[in-house]
Structure 1
Amino acid sequence: MFFHRFLFNSPTHLFLLLILTTSSTNSADSSDKNSPSGPEINITKRISFPDFSPNNPRTINQDISLLGSAAISTENGCVHIPETNLQYSAGRAIFSSPIRMLDPNTRTPASFTTTFSFQFKNPSNTSGYTSGGLSFIIVPDEFTVGRAGPWLGMLNDACEDEYKEVAVEFDTRMNPEFGDPNDNHVGVNLGSIVSAAAVDASGFGVHLNDGSVHRAWITYDGPRKFLEIYLGPDGTVPPTRAIYSGNLDLSPYLNEYMFIGFSGSTGHNHTQVHSICSWNFTSVSKAFLRVPSSESCETKITLDSYKVVPSKTPSSFYIFVAVVVLLLVIMVNLYFNGKRKERNDSDEIAVVPKGKQRLSPPNRARKFSLAEISSATRGFGELQILGSDARSVTYKGTLLYGCNVVVKRFSSKFFSSRASDRRILIKEIKAIGKIRHPNIVSMRGWCFDRQETIVVYDFVPNGSLDKWLFGFGVLPWTRRFKVVKDVAEALSYLHSKDLAHKNVKTSSVFLDISFRALLGDFGFLLSSMESTRFESLVSQKVDVFEFGVLVLEVVSGRGRRSEPGELDLLDLAWAMHESEEKAKLVDRRMGPVVNPDQAIRVLEIGLMCTLNDNKGRPSMEEVVEYLNLERPIPDLPQSRPVSLFPYSSTTGLCSGYSCTPFK
């Protein structure tokens, strides 16, 4: 632990680590190349959980890791995900030791067979509705909890683009955006929530959410790359007909060693308890023994997957040079640490305590050092800049383990000399950092180093919504409608946590590789001069107002600002409503595939969000219900209200209808 902390304490140490790692890797690689392959052997691993009761020796020895909302029930000896009626939660039950799933030399996946019994129960207060599902998963780590909601706890928020994952899902909710055939299906997922293959379980007489105990049999032949899945009642032999069988190459989604287990999740409005009551697993992987050299004895035969110490030892001269360099690095480190301590002692504000920090899972926001941020952004290089405004500069960065991030560096000149301003900002950033929602860009962490205030977000590959609405291409109506619903879900979730976004606009909405909308680029308090106005004027009510304007932009394909002499978008929308010509506002570039009734309905919801707070402006929770057809939309007033804007324009805080603090 000391060596790890020492090496990462400065860029000089990082450089030394890279040198040591490179040299050791090269030596090992050269040894591997010179090592001939011997006879082939099988490595077998067996796991057996007849139940998960406290009396089971494997349970006592903590051979199963419970993450998130997963827990073992003392009543029936089953793993429950979630344990109780928890809304929007995710959990995993993972076997604690890694399993060899791939031969790295031949890239041949391991063969495995697993069978488990499971049951879905619906709490009595859900009236038969379910949300979520259960998956058998093969993942690269044993400490990460995936996303809640329809993501089944499979995807990893820490490094989604590079996250290797194989799963067999048993899903009781239909999500058309994921290609689900219905709300009772089995799917095979390879590094994505979108199933590579999905089968309707109803055609095999299986209803996953009927409350009965089911049993699944999954068999994979690694050399043949052939997968079979059987599903039937518990206590019986496997059915004669597989629910799925086909050729499937898992090798691109496997590391040599992986962790196996189960993941599950629930949604917002309705919940479901997933139980795993028994589990057996057997895997067989191929490996090669090494042929011993003439200088060694037969007892020193090792598996090819292990590294061999280089036989050639360095000369005494190189050892001397390495020792001298190491001593110099230690002396330089002690010198700069002393200087840093003197500067920290002279600071008026101790922003982050120097106490020992607990390591946090990779899907939790954490503190970054300034050296890490600088390395990720190539020293805040100009080529890394994505955008800038008067208050901050945004960079694209790449962390050491390969994940792309967005780094927002705030300008120090917008902080006042009072310590309370920065403490308020830090508190707000950390509160947002705890938020995890499928439609909110995850905050990876922050850096508070002397006068530096930096926020690190996940990088979303498809960029911001404004570039798709007003730039290249034309978004079809189905995707636009999905964007509106995604943003509404995100704001509703934020408001339920007593938080506000404070910067709702098309450039703050991002589209991932599946064109799912994620709300990001939060607004933050930046000076005491604005604090009173910020707290009193920019709040959840303004989020709703700005969401309404965003809806108009999405439906019309026009920006909120207009050319001189023309009506702004909000003025134009109300004028179209008064003349009963709202259909003319729908973006004609979408062509005939647009659903006009649905588009006009969404347009009316957007106008409703711009009503005065005391004249019918809904909450975001109500907006979600309107969009999901769960409640009728109230009638809009025939004409535009006299005092439309939520705050007086005479204060100078709002220009036109836009009251967002950052433009």
Structure 2
Amino acid sequence: MSKGLLLIWLIFFFQLVSLSTSSKDISFVFNGFGQSNLSLVGSATLLPNGLLQLAKDSQHQMGHAFIKKPVEFSSSKPLSFSTHFVCALVPKPRFEGGHGITFVISPSVDFTRAQPTRYMGIFNASISGSPSSHLFAVELDTVRNPDFRETNNNHVGIDVNDPISVESAPASYFSKTEQKNVSINLSSGDPIQVWVDYHGTVLNVSVAPLEAEKPSLPLLSRSMNLSEIFSSRRLFVGFAAATGTSISYHYLLGWSFSTNMELLQLLDFSKLPQVPRPRAEHKKLPFVLIIALTVILAIIVMAVLAGVYAEVSEPWEKVCGSK
């Protein structure tokens, strides 16, 4: 075999290997995050029971959780994926709940320039709307931002390079038993299922309570070409959450993802961690107030005892007897 022919054969062989590798579907599932291969940044924390908390319960926090290695989407096929996750947003007692959770696909996990509050830890005021962001997100938003054309504080939205959603709707799901859309309170603290499916050029987003099956009709359905958003097929998938003056505990219970809808693995609800319910803290009296109340109480007791002693010791009572 000539060297030229051998070189051609080697090039052809490596192209076949590359094509085979790039077309391999990727799937994973986490029933709880105790054994997950996630990169946690900012205030994201893995709790002992396998619950993933994205943002701390204080003001102006950001938390990010992404798969450590980027997903290699096939370059020989149209971009597609399906994901199913369970989350819970629990408002902190005595605070208005916010700001929400986003499912994110991005060529980078560098969100150092991102801002909390209404930018949800993935956008910022200076570059929002720029095509160079190469950012796709599905948001579960619990704060109304009129500047972002939001009509309520309980909605689901599709974001492309911008916190202003290209499409959004109040959180609800199509109930098979009632044959109508039923509202969901995202800030109820109860576990909520979310499905995001993208195939061809159609993106579908659905939500439902934990006890419900996947709705037959999606909440959001939009025709879009995500391949135009991403210049690379090596993309990170994960989640972000943020707080502002509004604060919630942002939890993830389980997550399944696949580049092939047919290979999407089911979540095992029996293995999902429980969502804690924070108790309202009782305000403690200041130390000075405690001392003052103690002194006042002591004076009252002494006055009462003095009065009783005076009542008993009246001289005229000893002569005439008590009335």
Relative to the length of structure 1, the TM-score reads: 0.34
Q: Which amino acid aligns with 2:67?
A: F
**Aligned counterpart, 1:443:** none
3-state SS, counterpart of residue 43 of structure 1 = coil
Contact kept in structure 2, 1:65 and 1:142, CA below 8 Å: no
Q: Which amino acid aligns with 1:174?
A: R
Aligned in 2, Cα 1:117/1:172: closer, same or farther, shift over 3 Å?
same
Aligned in 2, Cα 1:109/1:175: closer, same or farther, shift over 3 Å?
farther
Residue 272 (structure 1) aligned to one of 221, 227, 248: 248
1:561-580 alignment to 2 at 5 Å?
none
1:146-225 alignment to 2 at 5 Å?
146-155=114-123, 161=130, 162-202=132-172, 204-221=182-199, 224-225=200-201
**Aligned counterpart, 1:80:** 53
**1:120 corresponds to 2:89:** yes
Structure 1 position 80, deviation (Å): 0.9
Contact kept in structure 1, 2:111 and 2:122, CA below 8 Å: no
Structure 1 position 35, deviation (Å): 7.3
Aligned in 2, Cα 1:179/1:168: closer, same or farther, shift over 3 Å?
same
**Aligned counterpart, 2:39:** 65
Aligned in 2, Cα 1:279/1:243: closer, same or farther, shift over 3 Å?
same
Structure 1 position 157, deviation (Å): 8.3
3-state SS, counterpart of residue 150 of structure 1 = helix
Q: Which amino acid aligns with 2:121?
A: G
The higher relative CO (CA closer than 8 Å, separation ≥ 6) is in: 2
**Aligned counterpart, 2:203:** 227
1:460-499 alignment to 2 at 5 Å?
none
Q: How many residue pairs were aligned?
A: 236
Relative to the length of structure 2, the TM-score reads: 0.67
Q: Which amino acid aligns with 2:209?
A: P
**Aligned counterpart, 1:417:** none
Deviations 1:342-377 (A, max 9, x none): xxxxxxxxxxxxxxxxxxxxxxxxxxxxxxxxxxxx
Unaligned 5+ runs, structure 2: 1-7, 173-180, 262-323
Structure 1 position 143, deviation (Å): 4.0
Distance in 1, matches of 2:78 and 2:182, equals 29
3-state SS, counterpart of residue 130 of structure 1 = coil
Q: Which amino acid aligns with 2:224?
A: L
Structure 1 position 125, deviation (Å): 2.3
Unaligned 5+ runs, structure 1: 1-30, 286-663
Distance in 1, matches of 2:53 and 2:105, equals 19
Structure 1 position 219, deviation (Å): 1.1
Q: CA RMSD in A?
A: 2.6
Aligned in 2, Cα 1:48/1:150: closer, same or farther, shift over 3 Å?
same
Q: Structure 1 or 2: larger helix share?
A: 1
Identity %: 25
Q: Which amino acid aligns with 2:115?
A: R
3-state SS, counterpart of residue 259 of structure 2 = strand
3-state SS, counterpart of residue 26 of structure 2 = strand
Distance in 2, matches of 1:204 and 1:235, equals 14
Q: Structure 1 or 2: larger strand share?
A: 2
Contact kept in structure 2, 1:43 and 1:284, CA below 8 Å: no
**Aligned counterpart, 1:307:** none
**Aligned counterpart, 2:239:** 262
Distance in 2, matches of 1:157 and 1:199, equals 23
Aligned in 2, Cα 1:156/1:66: closer, same or farther, shift over 3 Å?
farther
